[in-house]
Amino acid sequence: MPDRTEPPHAPNGVDDAHPGASRRTVEAVLFDFHGTLAQVEEPREWVLAAAAACGVGLDRVRATALADRLLTAGRAGGPLPARVPPRLAELWADRDLYPYAHRGAYTGLAETVDAGIDGFADALYERVLVPEGWVPYPDTEPVLRALRRAGVKVAVVSNIGFDIRPLLTAWGLDGLIDAYALSYEVGRCKPDPGIFYRACGMLGVDPERALMVGDTPADAGAVGAGCAVLVLPCADAGHPNGLGATLDLAVPA
pLDDT of residue 18: 44
pLDDT of residue 20: 45
Per-residue pLDDT of 155-197, as tens digits, reads 999 999 999 999 999 999 999 999 999 999 999 999 999 999 9
pLDDT of residue 125: 98
Question: How confident is the model over 102-107, as a mean pLDDT?
Answer: 98
Q: Find the length of the chain.
A: 253
- Establish whether the linkage from the previous residue to 193 is cis, with ω within 30° of 0: no
Question: How confident is the model over 204-233, as a mean pLDDT?
Answer: 96
55 in the Ramachandran plot: left (φ > 0), alpha (ψ -120 to 50) or beta?
left
pLDDT of residue 234: 85
Question: How confident is the model over 227-236, as a mean pLDDT?
Answer: 93
Per-residue pLDDT of 45-104, as tens digits, reads 999 999 999 999 999 999 999 999 999 999 998 888 989 999 999 999 999 999 999 999
Per-residue pLDDT of 125-152, as tens digits, reads 999 999 999 999 999 999 999 999 999 9
Assess whether pLDDT exceeds 70 at residue 8: no
Assess whether pLDDT exceeds 60 at residue 200: yes
Region(s) of the chain under CATH 3.40.50.1000: 28-37+137-250
Distance CA 204, CA 206 (A): 7
pTM: 0.89
pLDDT of residue 22: 58
Spatial neighbors of 72 by CB under 8 A, at least 6 apart, are 79, 81, 82
Helical (H) or strand (E) element with 134:
strand 134-136
Distance CA 245, CA 232 (A): 9
pLDDT of residue 79: 85
CATH superfamily of 28-37+137-250: HAD superfamily/HAD-like (3.40.50.1000)
